[in-house]
Amino acid sequence: MRLDKLLANTGHGSRKEVKALLKKKQVSVNLEVVKDGSVHVDTKRDEVTVDGQPVHYQQFIYLMMNKPPDVISATEDSRERTVVDLLQEAQKRFQPFPVGRLDKDTEGLLLLTNDGKLAHQLTSPKKEVGKTYYAEVEGTLTEEDRAAFKAGVKLDDGYQTMPAELTIIEGGAMSRVEITIYEGKFHQVKRMMEAVGKKVRFLKRLSMGSLYLDNTLKPGEYRELTEDELTYCLSLKK
Ligand code: URA
């Protein structure tokens, strides 16, 4: 990687600021001052310092967000606020994107990363990573509905879903349920509920596999994954 890119990617300023750092002889590679930003460095082997402080290169970023309603799961949009708009520059410079989409009105667990391979593993139905949602649903969900979900239901476009698990927390005119699905079709939970004649009024993702939403995160807040969470996620890449 070019030295100037490495310095910009590790928060040492804009291209112009990085150029100034180099010119002022503040940057060394393997203890030798380097003024040329186009020099290539091996991020694993070469020791780069700025004012004697080692530069730690990080390729990937993994963030857990409690997605609030009213923002869209995209990186940019000309009209709507996106989940990436909620990040600070320090995270944005890694160019993270949301892993799988949550609808604009859906809340809860959203992973943002720039690790495309992990994103694929988490969303691929082949990997069978369960996504669990809490939902408030208009209409009384019954044992028959639970059985229908277990068998898989037919969506409005004729698609037969994979089996899903439905747990009824509280029945009644407005049922409270948890549902686990293993794929991520467009509006899947809402459409599965529609398939059994119910309407989702509130939807929040609680978990993806063994990655659980941190309850201390307020809507719109995010944090880096803990080491254990990251170990779990990276185990899916294998
Ligand atoms: N299913 C939906 O219907 N919406 C979501 O946001 C996620 C799953």
Return the pLDDT at 145: 95
Cα gap 183→181, rounded to integer Å: 6
Its sign, for the CA torsion 45, 121, 128, 136, is positive
In terms of Cα–Cα distance, which of 45, 48, 65 is closest to 5?
A: 48
Write the CATH number for 227: 3.30.70.580
Indicate if ligand 1 lies below 6 Å from the C-beta of 137.
no
- Over the chain (238 residues), what is each successive 10-residue block's mean pLDDT? 92 92 97 97 95 93 97 96 96 94 97 95 88 97 95 97 96 94 95 97 97 98 97 88
Which secondary-structure segment (H or E) carries 109?
strand 107-113
Return the pLDDT at 105: 98
Parallel, antiparallel or unpaired: strands 53-54 and 62-67: unpaired
Cα 72 to middle of ligand 1, angstroms:
12
Cα gap 186→196, rounded to integer Å: 17
Q: Determine whether 103 is an active site residue.
A: yes
Is pTM beyond 0.75? Reply is yes
Return the pLDDT at 114: 96
In terms of domains, do 8 and 121 share one?
no
Return the pLDDT at 124: 87
Write the CATH number for 40: 3.10.290.10
Q: Which domain holds residue 45?
A: 3-54
